[in-house]
Amino acid sequence: MAIEDTAIAEGLVRPLVRAFFDTRTSSLQYVVHDPATKKGVIIDPVLDFEERAGSTATVNADAILDYVRTKQIELEWILDTHPHADHFSAAGYLRERTDAPIAIGEKVVGVQEFWKRLYNLEDFSADGSQWDRLFADGETFRIGDLEARVMLCPGHTPASVTYVIGDAAFVHDTLFMPDGGTARADFPGGDAGQLWESIQKILSLPDETRLFTGHDYQPGGREPRWESTVAEQKRANLHVADKDAEGYVALREARDRTLTMPKLILQSLQVNIRGGCLPAAEDNDVRYLKIPLDRFRDMSWGQT
């Protein structure tokens, strides 16, 4: 499902944002571009995966490409905010189709090292070389006339980054919509205290900053939403408003103990540590995903 552009306030130069909502994974994908130069980026694209059949498809990614072509956007980057645990990244596919470079935060190397050991990938290079660029915390880059800044926001994963582009910040899974709260912090390398600090870093941006989340699980069955502001999150986020660090960590850790693992985590991480590229085909020309058995016995079988 694709949603129309966010309007530009009169007299204010800011990026145009187009959201694409994937109903299967409740994921938000974005095309962000400078209206003056038509230069833009894609953030967190989804490669479709049907786990029961073990089949991939490019419905989401092709819809994004159609939009980019229609709007005549010149892609500067394809960006992932972190190695996703609930869907495959389409960054590799989109790089093949557009020649735009792919990028992620430099802390992805630590995530690669963990999952390389888990999957026993002896020949896998856990050095970030699968991406064209590894961004450091605080690094800046241009999207046409817009300045973009990378902000390290660990807690959900140690590699999570927020991209601040003009008056918009793409906060991945750190903050959901105010009625959805915040991301879990119980993945390998996650930490609720770090997540609190990252949330405070995001909420230190100007109150009018537009915040775009990476998921919306539609609390109460409402329609999908993805855009809020710093002021709205401060006032109404059900995990953050009126909390201090101690209270937040207690709430987050208690909530995480009720959660089971995302259903695609063991499939998706072996794709996403490769920059969104599928494993190489074996000598029978078939690609395979590996499932490590009995490595997460302590995970709850509670809610999804």
Question: Domain for residue 3, yes or no?
Answer: no
d(CA 46, CA 117): 25
Question: Domain for residue 284, yes or no?
Answer: no
Question: Domain for residue 20, yes or no?
Answer: yes
Say what the pLDDT of residue 7 is.
41
Question: Domain for residue 122, yes or no?
Answer: yes
Q: What does the pLDDT look like over 209-243, one tens digit per residue?
A: 999 999 999 999 999 999 999 999 999 999 999 99
Question: Domain for residue 231, yes or no?
Answer: yes
The strand pairing partners of 161, in sequence order, are 152
d(CA 86, CA 12): 36
Show the low-confidence residues of the chain (pLDDT under 50).
4-12, 301-304
Say what the pLDDT of residue 298 is.
66
> Within a 13 Å sphere around the CA of 50, how many CA atoms are in the beta-carbon half?
7
Tally of structural domains, the chain:
1
Question: Domain for residue 9, yes or no?
Answer: no
Query: CA 201, 214, 211 angle in degrees (round to 5)?
Result: 45
The mean predicted confidence, pLDDT, of the chain is: 93
What range defines the domain where residue 67 resides? 16-272
Say what the pLDDT of residue 296 is.
81
Q: What does the pLDDT look like over 36-56, one tens digit per residue?
A: 999 999 999 999 999 999 999
Question: Domain for residue 4, yes or no?
Answer: no
Give me the CATH number covering residue 150: 3.60.15.10
Say what the pLDDT of residue 133 is.
98
